[in-house]
Structures are given as structure tokens and as C-alpha cells.
Chains A and B, each alone.
Chain A
Amino acid sequence: MTLDFSVVANAWPALLSGVMGTMLLAASGMALAMIIGVLGVAILRAQMRIPSFLVTAFVEIIRNTPFLVQIYFIFFALPLAGIRLNPTITAILALGLNGGAYAIEIIRGGVESISKGQTEAGLALGLHRGEVFRLIVLKPALKAIYPSLSSQFILLTLTTAICTSISAYELTSVGQRIEAETFRSFEVYFTLTMIYLVISLITMWVLAAIGKRAFNYPDR
């Protein structure tokens, strides 16, 4: 068997737009996951029974079921409720909800690692609980868990490949199409592997750069 990468090379415009699709899913999914993560922890901290229960239930359901099933569920369940979303939006929603559940767990750990003295100092100065969370606890908490959050977001980036199952436009779906047209399976998936590796490395680098800017104060 001879290897022929020319068919893959010739498809570079399609691959490039696939990469764009993947990056769009990953970046939007991370943003949504981040919002869900912070809001979820804020709700848990408010210690109201029913909202806290709902957040905990959400986290447990997401963390104990496969992503593939989750994305199919959203894809096929929402239309039953009369909501029609295109595959890309559905994929972002699924990635955001899934990543958000993990983000809640991680960020909660960070919040718990912040000494109670910080909260007490804020309260003693007359700030309210919400302000204390937003202005005093949140940033040091995020700094403490930023490495774990980053790994989770790398995982989210790789999980975008599963979104091909609902025909969202991203790199893996492009690859599958090229494979179907050329029958060059090895060349296609070897190339995808390399491209995903590069995407991961770039994501890691970008996240590190963001972390460095956002948390640029010295620790003790």
C-alpha cells in the first residue's frame, strides 16, 4: 500500500474551514461553560434549597452520562419542545452545558480553597454576600484552579469531534467527507490527528496567555 497525501493536501481549503468550525465550537463552548460554571457556583453559594438542588442535579446528570447521548438528547429533544436550533448552535449548547457542569465542580473547589477570612473581611467592611463573591472571592478562586480549568477546556476542545454526530460543521466531519470521497482513511485520520494536536497546543498556549494576563498579581 502506498501513501498518498496529495488528496488530503488538495482538500486544504475544506480542512481549514473545518478547523475554523472546530475553533468556533470550542471557543463558544468554553465561554458558555465558563458562564455556567460561575453562575452555578454563585447559586450554590447563595444556599437556597431548591436552586442549589437543581444545580447539583444538573452537575450529577451531566457528569454521569456520556456526552454523545447528551448531544443527541438535546438535538432530538428540543424540537419536541418546539425549539429548532441548527446543528452548530446545538453543538455549542451541548459543549457549554457539559463543560459547565465540570466547571462548576472545579470552580467550587477553588472557592472552597479561599480562606473564610476573605469573606469575613468583606462582610465586616459592609459588603453584601453577592459582592463578596464577585469582587473578593471569585478571582483568587479562579486563579487557584486555573490549571485544572484549562485541562478541562482542552478536553472540551477535543470533544468537539463528537459533534460530527449531529452533523455540526467542524474538522472531523470535514475529514469524514474527504475520506468518503477519496477512500484514503489513513492519510485523512493521520492528518486530522496532527491538526488536532496543533489545535490543542495552540489552545493551551492561548489559555495560558489569558491566565497570565487575568491573574497577574503576586501570591504570597
Chain B
Amino acid sequence: MEQSQQGGARMIEMRKVEKWYGAFHALKSVDLTVRQGERIVLCGPSGSGKSTLIRCINHLETIQDGEIVVSGHRLNDSQKAVDAVRREVGMVFQQFNLFPHKTVLENCILAPMRVRKLSRADAEATARRYLDRVRIGNQAEKYPAQLSGGQQQRVAIARALCMEPKAMLFDEPTSALDPEMVKEVLDTMIGLARDGMTMICVTHEMGFARQVADRVIFMADGEIVEENDPDTFFRNPQHERSRAFLGEILAHH
């Protein structure tokens, strides 16, 4: 853990990032450095800007000030930089967002063929490898609507992995799932973390945070309020807002 915090190259860097939605100040001077292989859990109350933060990293949202550098590419409005970043950063959404008119396999090969210019054979081989890895290889010919929520989310993870990303962003990947399916998705994510994937996960799954996070980042009102290793964060939160938040989370679980 020590090593991954200090040693790895800088994968994602946000410096003094300011984000406004019209008159609403959604990110306030956010500074964040994520090194290669690091696993970050991002938590905080609803509306605190967690989704906004990770969506800025792959330019689904534009920022008004500050800078974001991902794997050496400085995000500005040039499509080239955006393309380069999106090729190297995968994203998993709360609502899965699988393409309903494409089979599981087709979902997984679309971007590798279009964006990475892989041949169909290569893309399919890669897709089957990752589908096996998320233990869904035998469902490759099915359509998303024929799968359970947990299965769909695992396909979504495989689909992102098929682009061979250097980092993965997760936005509450288990929040839309029935309770009995949460574990299968978390296990998949834990597996990824074990294999050294750089990850930023927005989640309120505190068990997951304890188990895999190198750092827990707590946000409130568009600001990073506290940043600590999970042990310290859970046992001895430094800020009043983190304490209140943890109290609420624990009351619910």
C-alpha cells in the first residue's frame, strides 16, 4: 500500500479544478492526484459533487478553471486530448448503460473495433477473455434485457475493460442493484483491484472501501473535505462532516 501511494507514476491529476453548472458552483478548487495502481474510494452526501468530479476526468463534463492531466494528456477542449484520455480511462455507471440492441459480445467489441481499430477476431477474443473474467462468458450471445442487474453490471465492467484502460472510474456501480446482487459486482471490482487496476470508485459500500481502498476521499458541497487511509477515516474521522456522514451511513447498514 505504501508503495502504491508513493511509487507509481501519476495517472490522474486534478489541480485547482473549478466546475460550475450555470450559477451553481459544483467543484471548488479540487486537487487530487491518483498514482498508477492506486485505489481511491470517493464518498460524501448526495449532491456533494462525486459524480461531477469523476465525470470531469473523462470529459463528460467540462471544467471552467484549473487543469486535469490524465496519463500525460492534458485535457483541454481539443478533441485529440479528449480521445486520448477516453481511450485510457474506462467508466462504469450506476445504471449499467449497456446497449439494449446489441448482444453482450457486441457491446464488448463495438468500441475496441471502432476506437482501437482491432479486427473483429481480436476484439472477440479480448471480449471473451474479459467476459470469462467477470464470470459471464456463457451469456455472450444474450441481450442485456435477458440478464439480471448484477450480470448487466459485470458485463458493463467487462465492456470497459475490453478497451484495456489504464484506469477505471466507477460511479455508484452497486446502487441500482438488488441487495443480493451487490456482492457479485463488488467481488469483481475487488478482483480488479487485486490485479493492480488504478481505480476511483464512488461508492457507499464501506466494506469495499476498507478492503481495497488505499485512500478514502470525503466530499461535501463540492469540496474535498477529508482524505485519509480507510482505517483512519473510519475509526477516527477528522472532520465534523465526515463524522456526521459516517454516522448516517452506519445507521443505514
Contacts and interface: CB of A to CB of B under 8 A. Distances in A.
Interface of A: 115, 117-118, 120-128, 131, 135-136, 139-140, 143, 215, 217-220
A127 B145 contact: no
B100 A219 contact: yes
Interface in B137-151: 143-146
Interface in B47-64: 58, 60
B145 A121 contact: no
Contact of A118 (B89, B97, B146): B97
A118 B163 CA distance: 17
A64 to B, nearest CB: 34
Main secondary structure of the interface of B (DSSP, over half): mixed
Given A123-B86, A125-B163, A126-B163, A217 B101 contact: yes
A140 B160 CA distance: 21
Given A124-B86, A124-B90, A126-B87, 19 more contacts: A117-B93, A117-B97, A120-B93, A121-B97, A124-B91, A124-B160, A125-B111, A125-B159, A125-B163, A127-B111, A127-B114, A131-B114, A135-B110, A135-B114, A139-B101, A218-B146, A219-B100, A220-B144, A220-B145
B86 A125 contact: yes
Contact of A217 (B86, B87, B100, B159): B100
B60 A124 contact: yes
Contacts of A143: 101
B115 interface: yes
A79 B33 CA distance: 68
User: For this complex, into which size category does the number of interface residues on chain B fall?
Assistant: 20 to 34
Contacts of A121: 91, 93, 97-99, 156
Contacts of B58: 124
B187 interface: no
Interface of B: 58, 60, 79, 83, 86-87, 89-91, 93, 95, 97-102, 110-111, 114-115, 143-146, 156, 159-160, 163
A13 B252 CA distance: 79
A118 to B, nearest CB: 6
A127 B95 contact: no
28 contacts: A117-B93, A118-B97, A121-B98, A122-B99, A123-B60, A124-B60, A124-B86, A124-B91, A125-B90, A125-B115, A125-B160, A126-B83, A126-B86, A126-B111, A126-B114, A126-B115, A127-B110, A127-B114, A127-B115, A128-B79, A131-B114, A135-B110, A140-B99, A140-B101, A215-B101, A219-B100, A220-B100, A220-B145
